[in-house]
Amino acid sequence: MAAILVEASRVSPDDLRRLWLSLQQDHLISVLVASAFLVFASTAYLSTRPRPIYLVDFACYRPPDRLSASSSRFITHSRLCGQFDDSALQFQERILVRSGLGEDTYLPDALHSLPPMPSMSAARQEAEAVMFGALDSLFRNTSLNPRDIGILVVNCSLFNPTPSLSAMIANRYHLRGNIRTFNLGGMGCSAGVISLDLARDLLQVHRSTYAVVVSTENITQNWYFGNRKSMLIPNCLFRVGCSAVLLSNRPLDRSRAKYRLAHVVRTHRGADDRAFRCVYQEEDNAGKVGVSLSKDLMAIAGEALKVNITTLGPLVLPVSEQLLFFASLVARKLLKSAAKVKPYIPDFKLAFEHFCIHAGGRAVIDELEKNLHLLPSHVEASRMTLHRFGNTSSSSIWYELAYLEAKGRVHRGHRIWQIAFGSGFKCNSVVWHALRNIRPSPGSPWEDCISHYPVQIVDGFPQES
């Protein structure tokens, strides 16, 4: 700049005039203006476009065998603890038979004791065991230094101590002082997708950053010891589990990443009172706290799903399916006999190779298999996760993806749809694209049992296939 200024000071007005006329004759002014505009536009585009988000790896917690809770052991403990009447015990036994859960799911230490000991201390121990177990596996498989993490998001719906669960992780792994931590509570089984959405937004702002998302639920302090049947169902379905996911916006991580995040679609039906109360934590007549499940739950989940796929469909479906869906919608609006025109359900099998449906229960999986016209192979991962690990809440969709990896079914270019439901009422979806042929990471929760799966579930009873 100094040299240019010195030279410019030596130029006379006549020299400047001759230079200007020369530039006009050679059209250099137009070229320079066009070049400057092109550089400016390119810079603006590169700086404002969404950064690709990569899933480097993930890990799921595998509880020790001593925490295994077979159906017979579950019922025996429920009877011996003396908190349930005969009607409640019979109801739990019927639910277990039809639940789709196998004999190797897990309950926390406090509930294996007689009498059960659901204390704050025991709840902290459960949280530490599952979170640290998943994170230790993740850090070991990725060789990541915990101090390199810039963003930490933890979600646990029913257990939110002080200090928070995210603070417990920061303390254990000595995370750096300027890390951005978030602790999401009360958001149900779909909170794992909400955490991913939050991490994605943060990674769009903060450059060259790692984000870790930890999804879990705590059973110790949230076991229901009453006799209201609508509040006993969670006892029969929910089991110990946790997932830890490593995300990155660093271009160099693409070569080692498993997946690229394509879409996140969230649907919230909380404005509807019926939807708001269909999964509701409250006290029963005896003052015992539990989570009540409404009889309308499946209908409300179906309504939320319709809204969610209406938003997701245009993002992922081929044009032919979108046109058929639009034609069906117009026909129902215009024809007088609209009630006789069935709504067209798009064929999502054309958009995705794999489906990870929240393993909330056998009825949830059955309903989505029916409504989305899926094949048994498409819901296999969900059914087997429910059978092997039970409903692990927000982490269940990761046990399902781990199942697909353990079976060697995820290949380069495949599209995966993870869909979860949660209190509020919410239906949330996330879409991933596989960047390579995926092999299971060391320490997979299916490592020592994948050869035994799939099993056939007939009327709630597992049968070896």
Active site residues: 189, 268, 354, 358, 387, 391
- Cα end-to-end distance, the chain, whole Å: 78
Strands 149-155 and 210-216 turn out to be: parallel
Closest listed residue to residue 414, CA positions, set 326, 316, 289, 280: 316
CA triple 239-406-391, angle to 5 deg: 15
The three-point CA angle 41-43-48 to 5° equals: 95
Give 299's contacts (C-beta < 8 A, 6+ positions apart): none
Tell me how far apart the alpha carbons of residues 235 and 406 are, in angstroms, rounded to a whole number. 29
Here the contacts of 320-328 (C-beta below 8 Å, separation 24 or greater) are 321/346, 321/347, 321/350, 321/351, 322/346
| Contact in structure between 88 and 229 (CB atoms under 8 Å) | yes
Using DSSP bridges, classify how beta strands 242-248 and 289-293 pair: parallel, antiparallel or unpaired.
Answer: unpaired
Closest CA to 105 of 396, 300, 352: 396
SS3 246: strand
Taken in order 152, 153, 156, 160, the sign of the CA dihedral is: positive
Instruction: List the 354-357 sheet strands across, edge first.
Output: 180-184, 149-155, 210-216, 242-248, 54-60, 259-268, 426-434, 415-422, 354-357
Nearest to 353 by CA among 263, 397, 275, 416: 416
DSSP 8-state class, residue 266? E
Q: Which two tokens stand for residue 410?
A: 């995820």
Q: Mark 41-54 as b/e (b = at least 16 C-beta within 10 Å).
A: eeeeeeeeeebbbb
Please state the φ and ψ torsions of residue 147, each to the nearest 5 degrees. -75, -10
Structure tokens at 239: 């089991």
Please give the structure tokens belonging to residue 38. Answer: 């092109």
Task: Read off the tokens for 313.
Answer: 């469909």
Question: Cβ(362)–Cβ(386) under 8 Å?
Answer: yes
Partners of 281 in the β-ladder:
291
Which residue type is seen at 294?
A: S
